Amino acid sequence: MSTTAPEFRVLALSGSLRADSYNTALLRAAAKLSTGTVRIDLHPGLGELPLYNQDLEAGGLPAAVRELHQRVLRADALLIATPEHNASIPAALKNAIDWMSRMPDGAEIAGKPTAVVGASPGPLGSVRAQLALRQILASVGADVLAKPEVIVFQAHERFDDAGTLTDDYTETLLIELTGALTRRIASRRQ
């Protein structure tokens, strides 16, 4: 009988394609702060996904879509970071959700525990984008955590030039969020 705690696999998706994205940096911070029972893996390939087109399903899914499907299938939960583009989520993130909502073989995001975070240099953070994202995720049946909310405003003041999170309060929120996500995963395994 093993005495080690089970490992929970969390797939992290950044809605930003930027190399120096605050949202990707936020996910990296969450991975660094996560406990030994949680492994957060960042999926780097949202920019490689073709625009969703149901006709592509008939001829076999593109490799980038198959890779995303496999990663979602292996994950116990999702952690999605969104920037705010024109008061909503970026097109690349919506495209990924569209592909994830069409997964074969039980790899669907319906019912999958999902946490939402976001960062922006503006004074509102990503609050409007997170609201839009939560609505989209609810429509595809994801099990979205309501709390804690991690809305990082004026992100340029909370990360250093290397992209390392320097804000203690945001670190605390990420630790609380990871704990809440872990509890949700554990409750679903019972």
Whether residue 132 is contained in a domain is answered as: yes
The pLDDT assigned to 25 comes to 98
What type of residue sits at position 96? A
Locus of tokens 């995720």: 137
Pairwise CA distance, residues 98 & 170, whole Å = 30
State residue 106's pLDDT score: 53
* Mean of per-residue pLDDT scores for the chain: 93
- Assess if residue 37 is contained within a domain: yes
* Residue 176 belongs to some domain of the structure: yes
By C-alpha distance, which of 16, 14, 20 is closest to 40?
Answer: 14
Domain total of the chain: 1
User: Does residue 51 belong to any structural domain of this protein?
Assistant: yes
pLDDT of residue 107: 55
pLDDT recorded at residue 51 = 97
Alpha helices by DSSP H, 1-62: 22-33, 55-58
Q: Which one, of 58, 33, 62, lies nearest residue 49 by Cα?
A: 62
Domain containing 104 equals 8-187
CATH code of the domain containing 85: 3.40.50.360
2 belongs to a structural domain: no
Amino acid letter, 83: P
Inside any domain, residue 1: no
Q: Are strands 113-119 and 77-81 parallel, antiparallel or unpaired?
A: parallel
Which residue from 117, 157, 158 is spatially nearest to 137, judged by alpha carbons? 117
3 part of a folded domain: no
Q: How far is CA 49 from each of CA 14, 27, 43, 84, 87, rounded to the nearest angstrom? A: 13, 20, 12, 20, 23
| Locus of tokens 């429509």 | 139
Spans of the chain below 50 pLDDT? 1
Cα 10 to Cα 34, 66, 74, distances in angstroms: 10, 18, 9
CB contact at 8 A, 121 and 155: yes
Q: CB neighbours (10 Å) of residue 59?
A: 7
Is the preceding omega at residue 148 within 30 degrees of 0, hence cis? Answer: yes
pTM for the whole structure: 0.94
In a domain, 142, yes or no: yes
Largest CA-CA distance found in the chain, in angstroms, rounded:
53
Q: Which pLDDT value is given to residue 1?
A: 47
Joined together, the tokens standing for residue 102 give: 């069409």
Query: 173 phi and psi, to 5 degrees?
Result: -60, -40
